[in-house]
Amino acid sequence: MLNFSDHPHTRLNILTGEKVLVSPHRSKRPWQGQVEDLVLEQRPAYDPECYLCPGNKRADGTVNPDYTDSFVFVNDFSALLQDTPNEQYNDSDLLQAESERGICKVIAFSPRHDLTLPEMDQEAIEAVVDLWQQEFADLAKNEWIKYIQIFENKGAIMGCSNPHPHGQIWAQGNVPVEVQKEDAQQKNYFVKHGKSLLSAYLDLELRKQERIIVDNAHFVALVPFWAAWPYETLIVSKRHVSNIAEFTAEEKADLAKTLQELTIRYDNIFSTSFPYSAGMHQASVNNGDQSHWHWHMHFYPPLLRSATVKKFMVGYEMMANPQRDITPEFAADLLKKQSTIHYKTRQDG
Ligand code: H2U
Ligand code: ZN
């Protein structure tokens, strides 16, 4: 019998077909519960130097409107451009290239410079979800766009340039690599079982109750069985929908609630503004039948043992595959134990 909490083993990521090495015996040492000295970073609600704050000037000279909830604009330094000509290049099958067209946008989640998602109230987060849905629908109207990536890069440790709460959307003419892997895995499962891969996975996880963190009427947040990052999580919609455009008002409210609860728990682990890269994976658009796709959202946080001790994907992980010490079950348990009241609020009150 394979003992998940003693024996080194690999786990299969059913969404990508890749593996992760789990070395649970290495974390037998008791949990240190190490928390850095509380540095309550105080940011002003408005920063005259911030390019995202209302009424401020951006790099291209545009002045932001006096927005009151969320605000979207085309990235002034877009990585993808709309007017790129369609070209292919192939030299002896050895040098291959292809032009890529796209549209990149930035979304300010709130006019408040001093907030982050977990500190915003549910209504404000709902406004962000609404905007994501609206942007997705609008971008998908362009026939040439095949994939729309909605994501957030949070924290200086993740290379985020500005603490003002914001995310990005990159829409492009081809389906990117991570999405291609998940597409193939989900299609195989759907053809074989007549059910979405994540519906079946969710049923199993809800029966087992070993990795579930948030469970409400429409969404579940859990630590996936194959998580590679120490506190990696996955939000899955209970209803099998292939993209965000299909969410009802009730589902959007529940998604906002799920995002709030999950990110508050994250911040509470180390009493710090918890950095991560998070993003939705959903069906490609203008690309035929996508009924095998099941909307979900990944959170990849880089922290390992404290607000400052980061996990690096190096050595064996660059050469072979990701490896982790604390088990996904341990991480889920720790996240579940966290309060759903933000530590800053608790300090104040
Ligand atoms: P980060 O989330 O990685 O910090 O990126 C913020 C984006 O904001 C970044 O892609 C854009 C940068 O190009 N930006 C503008 O569009 N206008 C500006 O005035 C500054 C930054
Ligand atoms: Zn700001």
Number of domains in the chain: 1
* Distance (Å, whole) CA 96 – CA 107: 34
Q: Which domain holds residue 216?
A: 45-348
Distance 149 CA to ligand 2 centre (A): 23
Cα dihedral sign, 20-26-31-37: negative
Q: Is 297 within the bounds of a domain? A: yes
* Structure token digits, residue 259: 């995002």
- Two tokens, residue 186: 């989900």
Q: What is the pLDDT of residue 41?
A: 72
Contacts 24+ apart (CB under 8 A), 2-5: 4/327, 4/329, 5/327, 5/329
Residues recognised as catalytic: 166
pLDDT tens profile 139-198: 999 999 999 999 999 998 898 889 999 999 999 999 999 999 999 999 999 999 999 999
- Dist. CA 106 → ligand 1 center (Å): 7
Assigned domain for 103 exists: yes
User: 136: CA distance to ligand 1 center in Å?
Assistant: 20
Residue 27: predicted pLDDT? 73
Full-model pTM: 0.95
Is 14 a domain residue? no
Beta strand 166-172 pairing with 102-108: antiparallel
Q: Is 310 helix (H, G, I), strand (E, B) or coil?
A: strand
For the CA of 167, the nearest atom of ligand 1: 2
Ligand 1 probe mutation, 49, 57, 75, most atoms within 8 A of CB: 75
Across the chain, which has 349 residues, the per-10-residue mean pLDDT values are 94 98 80 55 92 97 96 97 96 98 98 98 97 98 98 93 96 98 98 98 98 98 98 98 98 98 97 96 98 98 91 95 96 97 80
**Pairing between strand 233-237 and 296-300?**
antiparallel
User: Which of 113, 161, 164, 169 to mutate for ligand 1's pocket (most ligand atoms within 8 Å of CB)?
Assistant: 161
Answer whether residue 5 is part of any domain.
Answer: no
- CA 164 from chain centre, in angstroms, equals 18
Cβ contact 69:110 at 8 Å = yes
Q: Whose CA is nearest to atom 13 of ligand 1?
A: 77
The rounded distance, in Å, linking the Cα atoms of 215 and 205 is 11
* Residue 75 CA, closest ligand 1 atom number: 16
pLDDT digits (tens, 9 = 90+) for 268-286: 999 999 999 999 999 999 9
The span from the CA of 307 to the CA of 325, in Å, is: 18
Tokens of 286: 């203008």
Point out the ligand 1 atom lying closest to the alpha carbon of residue 168: 2
How many angstroms separate the CA atoms of 65 and 168, rounded? 18
The atom of ligand 1 lying closest to the CA of 59 is 19
What lines the ligand 1 site, CB under 6 Å?
51, 58-59, 75-77, 106, 153, 160-162, 166, 168
CATH number, domain at 142?
3.30.428.10
Expressed in angstroms and rounded, the spacing between residue 112 Cα and the centre of ligand 2 is 7
Residue 17 falls within a domain, yes or no? no
Is 152 a member of any domain? yes
Spacing, Cα 121 to ligand 1 middle (Å)? 24
Per-residue confidence (pLDDT) for residue 32, from 0 to 100: 53
Residue 26 domain-assigned (yes or no): no
Instruction: Tell me if 143 is assigned to some domain.
Output: yes
Give the C-alpha separation, 114 to 163, whole Å. Answer: 8
- 161 alpha carbon, closest ligand: 1
Structure tokens at 164: 């003002």
Report the residue among 50, 71, 116, 162 best suited for mutation to probe ligand 1: largest number of ligand atoms under 8 A from its CB.
162
Which protein residue has the closest C-alpha to ligand 1 atom 11? 75
What is the 70 CA–ligand 2 centroid distance (Å)? 12
Which ligand 1 atom sits nearest the alpha carbon of residue 159?
3
Q: Give the burial string for 218-230 (b: 16+ CB within 10 Å, else e).
A: bbbbbbbbbbbbb
pLDDT tens digit sequence for 189-207: 999 999 999 999 999 999 9
